[in-house]
Amino acid sequence: MVKMQTTQADSATLAELCELRRRRIFQGQGSILGTLLLALIMCGGCPTHAQSLPASRYDIEAVYLFDFAKFVRWPAGPEQGTLNICAAAPAEFIDALKKVSTGEHIDTHPLAVRAVQSPGDVEGCAILFIGSSAKTGMESLLAASAGKGILTVSDIPGFLDQAGMIQFLIVNNRVRFAVNLRPAASSGVSLSSELLKVAVSVKGGAGNGGTP
């Protein structure tokens, strides 16, 4: 795993680096693995405890969600249509997602952000983020999304053990992620092998859901 220590001088330009990464690096230049490693250096490697940093954990996780969409294959569907990134999370997280995704596309699909208040709201979601504030409703949200081709992501401890697909972790004060391929495969969601290479850990075996 590539690591980079962020100095006080670096922190002043961290937000600009993350923006450059989001808008320029993921444009088909270089290998997928290389872009993800650079993502980890610039954004995933940002310390989460330093209050002086312009990029909050919400900002970092929002950018990750945007980038995950580029390394996921959903069950066959319409070639056109909106790709909905949904979140059961505080308004600040919803705002961070909107800043990242407004005006953006994944292939031919425009992105939209939707707040989730109840299990019935997950219909039509491509990605569902369940924040810590929604921990009490996590099981019902996962049950509502099961088998519907929805990529489920959370920062709640033990999320993968509850059949979640991607869990954000804090490793050495930096945002990382782990993957559970079994629920992804059962929902028809396929994760790129290049994405799996930069995960902290992968449950379910490299052959069960990852694309070659």
Q: How far apart are CA 57 and CA 55, in angstroms?
A: 7
Q: How far apart are CA 154 and CA 135, in angstroms?
A: 9
Q: Is the pLDDT of residue 88 over 70?
A: yes
Q: Is the pLDDT of residue 181 over 90?
A: yes
Q: Which residues have CB under 8 Å from 32's CB, separation 6+?
A: 71, 192, 194, 195
Longest dimension (CA), the chain: 47
Q: Is the pLDDT of residue 84 over 50?
A: yes
- Nearest CA among 67, 81, 54 for reference residue 23: 67
Is 138 within 8 Å of 130 (Cβ atoms)? Answer: yes
Mean pLDDT of 25-33: 39
pLDDT tens digits, one per residue of 47-71 = 343 333 346 788 889 989 988 988 9
More confident residue, 13 or 61: 61
Position 165: which residue type?
M
Mean pLDDT of 65-78: 83
Instruction: Classify residue 15 by burial, with Cβ atoms within 10 Å: 0-12, 13-18, 19+.
Output: middle
- State residue 175's pLDDT score: 86
More confident residue, 111 or 5: 111
pTM: 0.75
- State residue 79's pLDDT score: 57
* Overall size of the chain counted in residues: 212
Q: Which residues have CB under 8 Å from 123's CB, separation 6+?
A: 148
Q: Is the pLDDT of residue 10 over 90?
A: no
Apex 183 CA angle, 177 and 187, nearest 5: 120
Q: How far is CA 52 from the centre of its chain?
A: 24
Q: How far apart are the first and last CA of the chain?
A: 20
Q: Which residues pair with 171 in a beta bridge?
A: 174
Parallel, antiparallel or unpaired: strands 83-88 and 109-115: parallel
More confident residue, 146 or 25: 146
- Quote the percentage of the chain above a pLDDT of 90: 48
Computed from CA positions of residues 47, 6, 59, 192, in that sequence, does the dihedral angle turn out positive or negative?
negative
**Mean pLDDT score across all residues of the chain:** 77
Q: Is the pLDDT of residue 93 over 70?
A: yes
Q: Is the pLDDT of residue 101 over 80?
A: yes
pLDDT tens digits, one per residue of 152-177 = 999 999 999 999 999 999 988 888 99
- State residue 91's pLDDT score: 95
Backbone φ, ψ for residue 183 (5° rounding): -65, -30
